[in-house]
A and B are shown apart, each in its own frame.
Chain A
Amino acid sequence: MISANLSAIFYLVSGILFILALRGLSSPETSRQGNLFGILGMIIAITVTFLTVGNFSTSTIYVFIFLLIGGAIGAFIAFKIPMTAMPELVAGFHSLVGLAAVFVAISAFKNPEAFNLGVPGDIKLASLIEMSIGAAVGAITFSGSIIAFLKLRGIMSGSPITFTGQHIVNLLIGISIFLLIYFLCSSQSESFFWSMIAISFLIGVLLIIPIGGADMPVVISMLNSYSGWAAAGIGFTLENTALIITGALVGSSGAILSYIMCKGMNRSFFSVILGGFGGDSSVSKDKKKDQKPVKSGNAEDAAFLLKNASSVIIVPGYGMAVAQAQHALREMVDTLKKNDIKVSYAVHPVAGRMPGHMNVLLAEANVPYDEVFELDDINNDFANTDVAFVIGANDVTNPVAKTDPQSPIFGMPVLDVEKCKSVLFVKRSLSPGYAGVDNELFYRENTMMLFADAKKMTEDIVKNI
């Protein structure tokens, strides 16, 4: 048994170690060390909690058993999961944090003495508000992440689900959560507590169903942020510094990522949250009635172009992840490099389904990270490059975003792919991208379309070089 003051110091230490864990991610070299700091912080927090409670009864054994069960499941998932499934894994993990927050809030509500919050039926007002917020945000995180998980996994359609009056319904439900918290505080009645949690689960579902597949980077970051705020809410209830610091860190981290993703799409956060963008409901305007000529080619043509280039920029997108083409792509790049061709990669901030999605896949295929460049760092190089090889990306290369103020994607930062001498575009069909906008690039003189599965096409090109 250690004193409350001593344990508070240790919780502070673990909070600082968590800050260092995030700090480490400023560069890949320091990142692995940062992760170790995070693990150390967690070990300290858990050990101190055991020592503070200090009651080594039979329950302790059960705690260890459950800890190991959870840990074994977690470790199993971590080793087995393919890198392409990372977005849904992260969504799934968010849901667990949310549900854990709800469960801890329930325990605190049922047994407030254990947390020094008063007695059942007479819980301190501040604690009651804090645990209600923690439980509500946790419940929203849980059900929202489940929907995001189902959409990312493809179990649920990625297209937005909307109905009339949706925003009004959501608003009313949102208000009712606050009312329930108010009634809960004034009456301490258990039924308000349970209904508040139930309604929070419902609103989590309703918030995420209208948001389409390609807006998922924003959704995941937003849920990341929510899981942080839920943890912070519980942290206030438990008066625990480590939890408060961590909640604040995670909350602001998720918020910043949402901001970066929105900026990458030139959309306001609210327009993403209100949803309904993309998929079937969005009318792809001015459908080009006159079929413009498109130059298409096969693997041999592409191989010829690539072989005779002196510099190539690869532009990967979600299609590469779907086709799992990253390894084939790396092989192609290796072959090109053997022919003394300079190759680099250009990654758009919203390429893929989560922040940094493309970078992880390329890293998995052993692409050195110093060959992968962000939008701002590489965009000027397209003009001096012979071939741009666009694999699975679409909207992020569309020049319309720079030229047509009428277009829904106008103002979105795009990669200046069209400035290359020639553009190879690997795509299965001429269908418009997620935003429902026709890509002007398809019809350009210097574009050659390669209609095929990204992986198969890349492999064929390798054979032909």
Chain B
Amino acid sequence: MEIDPFIFRFSIFILAIFVGYYVVWSVTPSLHTPLMSVTNAISSVIIVGAIIAALAGSTENIFEISSIFGFLAIVLAAVNIFGGFLVTQRMLQMYKKKKKNK
């Protein structure tokens, strides 16, 4: 008997939830806002689906309905990727320790 590949993906999914659970509990509360913005950025990895959709159209007519939605999704996800990572970086730059030489 063969195992459905879905089960493998489902296993990855469940294990990743556990990893997420332990990793997120170890995030210090003062960094909860950057946590939200960075999770925002990484969930935009959905762009891979958008790229596949956009490139799938035939060469003559790239503006089929499925490619159009792909292109739109690329724009949305790209806003999030650049915006999310950069704003996180901007926030994290601000967290400074007490200056010792005082």
Alpha-carbon gap, A412 to B9, bound state (A): 41
Instruction: Fill in one digit per residue for B57-99: 1 if any A CB lies within 8 Å of its CB, else 0.
Output: 1010010111101111111111111111111111111111111
Could you tell me if B54 and A59 are in contact, using CB atoms closer than 8 angstroms?
yes
Per the CB 8 Å criterion, the residue count for chain A at the interface is 117
Query: Given A89-B87, A243-B46, are A67 and B74 also a contact pair (CB < 8 Å)?
Result: yes
**What B residues does A243 contact at CB under 8 A?**
45-46, 48-49
Could you tell me if A221 and B36 are in contact, using CB atoms closer than 8 angstroms?
yes
Alpha-carbon gap, A22 to B31, bound state (A): 10
A173 → B minimal CB distance (Å):
24
Alpha-carbon gap, A73 to B78, bound state (A): 9
Alpha-carbon gap, A14 to B45, bound state (A): 10
Per the CB 8 Å criterion, the residue count for chain B at the interface is 83
Q: Is A77 an interface residue (CB 8 A)?
A: yes
B44 → A minimal CB distance (Å):
6
Could you tell me if A71 and B81 are in contact, using CB atoms closer than 8 angstroms?
yes
Q: Is B30 an interface residue (CB 8 A)?
A: yes
Question: Which of A62, A227, A254 is B54 in contact with, Cβ under 8 Å?
Answer: A62
Query: Given A35-B92, A110-B65, A244-B9, are A57 and B59 also a contact pair (CB < 8 Å)?
Result: yes
**What A residues does B9 contact at CB under 8 A?**
235-236, 239, 241, 244
| Identity of the chain A residue whose Cβ is nearest the Cβ of B50 in the assembled complex | A104
Among the listed stretches A39-47, A274-282, A302-310, which one makes contact with chain B, having 4 or more residues with CB under 8 Å of it? Answer: A39-47
Among the listed stretches A94-102, A386-394, A429-437, A447-455, which one makes contact with chain B, having 4 or more residues with CB under 8 Å of it? Answer: A94-102
**What B residues does A32 contact at CB under 8 A?**
89, 92-93
A108 → B minimal CB distance (Å):
7
**What B residues does A238 contact at CB under 8 A?**
48-49, 52
A47 → B minimal CB distance (Å):
10
Q: Is A55 an interface residue (CB 8 A)?
A: yes
**What A residues does B44 contact at CB under 8 A?**
42, 96-97, 100
Question: Which of B19, B46, B84, B91 is A360 in contact with, Cβ under 8 Å?
Answer: B91
Instruction: Fill in one digit per residue for B11-53: 1 if any A CB lies within 8 Å of its CB, else 0.
Output: 0111011011101111111111111111111111111111111
A-B contact pairs, 9 of them (CB 8 A): A19-B19, A49-B48, A75-B86, A96-B77, A100-B47, A101-B46, A110-B66, A115-B52, A368-B99
Q: What does DSSP make chain B's interface, helix, strand, loop or mixed?
A: helix
B53 → A minimal CB distance (Å):
3
**Interfacial residues, chain A to chain B (CB-CB below 8 A):** 11, 14-15, 18-19, 21-23, 25-28, 31-32, 34-35, 38-39, 41-42, 45-46, 48-50, 53, 55, 57-60, 62-63, 66-75, 77-79, 81, 83, 86, 89-90, 93-94, 96-97, 99-101, 103-104, 106-108, 110-111, 113-115, 126, 220-221, 224, 227-228, 231-232, 234-254, 256-257, 260, 347, 349, 354-357, 359-360, 363-364, 366, 368-372, 374
Question: Which of A34, A42, A104 is B73 in contact with, Cβ under 8 Å?
Answer: A104
**What B residues does A38 contact at CB under 8 A?**
38, 41-42, 85, 88
Alpha-carbon gap, A240 to B50, bound state (A): 12
Alpha-carbon gap, A50 to B52, bound state (A): 8
Query: Given A74-B81, A104-B73, are A59 and B62 also a contact pair (CB < 8 Å)?
Result: yes
**What A residues does B19 contact at CB under 8 A?**
19, 248-249
Could you tell me if A249 and B42 are in contact, using CB atoms closer than 8 angstroms?
yes
Could you tell me if A66 and B59 are in contact, using CB atoms closer than 8 angstroms?
no
Could you tell me if B31 and A234 are in contact, using CB atoms closer than 8 angstroms?
no
Query: Given A32-B93, A42-B42, A104-B70, are A234 and B17 also a contact pair (CB < 8 Å)?
Result: no
Alpha-carbon gap, A427 to B62, bound state (A): 59
